[in-house]
C-alpha cells in the first residue's frame, strides 16, 4: 500500500540558509500534518492542513511556513535556518474525520551546520 512520501530524506544546510521539505500524503487523504522531532525528543506538532487550508497550528516558528497544494501535497519552508532547527521532520496524513489514524512518513533529516 502507498505510504506518506517525504523528500528529501536527508538535507544539509548552513545557518541562515533556506530549506524546503516536501510531503506527498497517502492517496485520498485530505489532511496533512507536520511534526518536528529533535534529537532524543518526542515529535512536536508544527502545523496541519485540511483541504488546502491551515487547520491547526502548533509550535511552528515564524521563520517557517507551510502550505498544501491542490494535489494535496504539502511543503514546509524554513528560512533563516538556525543550528537548533536540526531535527527529523515528519509529515503525516489522514482522512478528514477527527480520530482517523494519522500515518507518518519516514521523515526528513535536516542538519544545519
Partner 1 sequence: AQSVTQPDIHITVSEGASLELRCNYSYGATPYLFWYVQSPGQGLQLLLKYFSGDTLVQGIKGFEAEFKRSQSSFNLRKPSVHWSDAAEYFCAVGARGGGFKTIFGAGTRLFVKA
Cross-strand partners of 15 = none
CB of 72 to partner 1, least distance (A): 15
Phi first, then psi: give them for residue 59, nearest 5 degrees. Answer: -90, 50
Which CB, 20 or 44, lies closer to partner 1? Answer: 44
Q: How far is the CB of 80 from partner 1 (least distance, A)?
A: 25
Instruction: List residues near partner 1 by CB under 8 A.
Output: 31, 33, 41-45, 48, 50, 54-58, 90, 92, 94, 98-99, 101-107
* CB of 41 or CB of 77, closer to partner 1: 41
What is the number of alpha carbons within 13 Å of residue 48 lying toward its C-beta?
18
Dihedral through CA 98, CA 105, CA 12, CA 68, nearest 10?
-40
Amino acid at each position: 500500500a502507498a505510504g506518506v512520501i517525504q523528500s528529501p530524506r536527508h538535507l544539509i544546510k548552513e545557518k541562515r540558509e533556506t530549506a524546503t521539505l516536501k510531503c506527498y500524503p497517502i492517496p485520498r487523504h485530505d489532511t496533512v500534518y507536520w511534526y518536528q522531532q529533535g534529537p532524543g525528543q518526542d515529535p512536536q506538532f508544527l502545523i496541519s492542513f485540511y483541504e488546502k487550508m491551515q487547520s491547526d497550528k502548533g509550535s511552528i516558528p515564524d521563520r517557517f511556513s507551510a502550505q498544501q497544494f491542490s494535489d494535496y501535497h504539502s511543503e514546509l519552508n524554513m528560512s533563516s535556518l538556525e543550528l537548533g532547527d536540526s531535527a527529523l521532520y515528519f509529515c503525516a496524513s489522514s482522512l478528514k474525520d477527527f480520530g482517523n489514524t494519522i500515518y507518518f512518513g519516514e521523515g526528513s533529516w535536516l542538519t544545519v551546520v
